[in-house]
Copies of this chain bind each other. A is one copy, B any other.
């Protein structure tokens, strides 16, 4: 996987293996699992063992086979726990109701179904339970209900049904897990890791895009072309920033799955996925700033062009600052991508950022503000202030990534 990761250029697409290829792999894996689990029905020796309960194996595969191994494991374990707990309580209920007998039997069961169903449903709505055990509680309700009411009817002892059903569910789960984990696994942890790294590079590209646009404006182009070009460029920038802003729910989902994938070689046990979410949050705030910078640049376009022509302010040093920021973001992204600690001795990124900040205050103090008109002052001042905000955020990112390196015990490289 590591080799694959390094072979594919990052900028070209958002996924290390083509998304379509991964979808195809997943689809074929589902097909194979379904055939494997159908063999319980199709082959006589197997069917003699499990009988009609083979149905539950098929159901387990259809319902728990997910795209990411973490999601499958989570669902499978939820399903197992829910079935065991619900089955056990269902058997107890059925036996208890049988000792009462008569019409009271049915009434007791109805009351217990109402109480357990209501209470369990309320639990499903508690955010912390909903996040990881929603599916397990649902299966608990289902199994409890089925076993409790079956107890009224069936002649076989109820625990025999429960045992057989559990056995087939376990077999279905084993098929799921084996196919999902051992055949071309599509890890959620890889996906989250890659998505975070890509976000760093995307934001770096956005900043560089801003700079390029500025330079292009300096060249001679007709007014109309400029208008058209820049508005599409801004839209592009916006779409990247907006996609970063909207990444929260996707990242939380992936982190949830990644926690179920402990034996995935690259990351190991107790990998600090929470830190990934924290870094993602800071990146989203940075994206919000960049969105505003883009808007401001767009709004004060003419003033900026005038400033450039007048040469009263060294715009070159701005560009140097911008490229330093995007370099820093790339370095941070690389450090996470290659899972190595940031260079501690020179502390190079921090020092460069500090230098950039010093330069920034130089830009504004060197300028003869009084010689500019209002529009120009607006443009330059807001740009400087926003840029210093961006620098602060990047500084925060450096700290977070440094902490990640310590938490995850990256090698110093």
- A110 CB, nearest partner CB in chain B, Å: 5
Given known A-B contacts A27-B122, A369-B377, A374-B364, A295 and B389 have beta carbons under 8 A apart: yes
User: A14 within 8 Å of B by Cβ?
Assistant: no
- A118–B31 contact, CB under 8 A? yes
Q: Which of B38, B41, B110 makes the CB contact (< 8 A) with A42?
A: B110
Interface hit among A326-334, A380-388, A403-411? A380-388
- A295 CB, nearest partner CB in chain B, Å: 6
Q: Which of B24, B38, B149 makes the CB contact (< 8 A) with A41?
A: B149
Interface hit among A4-12, A57-65, A315-323, A336-344? A57-65
Interface string of A356-398 (1 = CB under 8 A from B): 0000000011000110001001111110111011001000000
Given known A-B contacts A27-B125, A62-B142, A369-B369, A113 and B389 have beta carbons under 8 A apart: no
Interface string of A80-111 (1 = CB under 8 A from B): 00000000000000000000000000100110
Interface string of A240-284 (1 = CB under 8 A from B): 000001101100000000000000000000000000000000001
- B381–A145 contact, CB under 8 A? no
- B292–A386 contact, CB under 8 A? yes
- B370–A365 contact, CB under 8 A? no
Q: Which 3 A-B pairs have the closest CB atoms?
A: A381-B381, A31-B118, A382-B382
User: A296 within 8 Å of B by Cβ?
Assistant: yes
- A113–B34 contact, CB under 8 A? yes
User: In the complex, which residues 40-78 of chain A have their Cβ closer than 8 Å to any Cβ of chain B?
Assistant: 41-43, 47, 54-55, 58-59, 62-63, 67
- B378–A384 contact, CB under 8 A? yes
User: A30 within 8 Å of B by Cβ?
Assistant: yes
Offer 24 A-B interface pairs, CB within 8 angstroms, sorted by A. A23-B122, A27-B118, A27-B119, A30-B121, A31-B121, A38-B110, A38-B145, A38-B149, A41-B149, A41-B150, A41-B153, A42-B106, A42-B149, A54-B149, A55-B146, A58-B142, A58-B149, A62-B142, A245-B245, A248-B249, A296-B389, A369-B370, A377-B381, A381-B385
Name the interface size band of chain A: 35 or more
Known contacts A296-B389, A369-B370; 14 further A-B pairs (Cβ under 8 A): A23-B125, A30-B117, A31-B115, A35-B114, A43-B106, A246-B249, A288-B292, A292-B389, A296-B386, A299-B385, A364-B378, A365-B374, A378-B385, A382-B382
User: A349 within 8 Å of B by Cβ?
Assistant: no
User: In the complex, which residues 116-133 of chain A have their Cβ closer than 8 Å to any Cβ of chain B?
Assistant: 117-119, 121-122, 125
- A378–B378 contact, CB under 8 A? no
Main secondary structure of the interface of A (DSSP, over half): helix
Q: Which of B26, B114, B288 makes the CB contact (< 8 A) with A34?
A: B114
Q: Which of B63, B288, B296, B300 makes the CB contact (< 8 A) with A245?
A: B288
- A128 CB, nearest partner CB in chain B, Å: 14
- A47–B153 contact, CB under 8 A? yes
- B109–A38 contact, CB under 8 A? yes
Residues of B with C-beta under 8 A to A41: 149-150, 152-153
User: In the complex, which residues 12-42 of chain A have their Cβ closer than 8 Å to any Cβ of chain B?
Assistant: 23-24, 26-28, 30-32, 34-35, 38-39, 41-42
Q: Which of B26, B47, B249, B377 makes the CB contact (< 8 A) with A125?
A: B26
User: In the complex, which residues 127-169 of chain A have their Cβ closer than 8 Å to any Cβ of chain B?
Assistant: 138, 141-142, 145-146, 149-150, 152-153
Q: Which of B31, B63, B110, B122 makes the CB contact (< 8 A) with A117?
A: B31
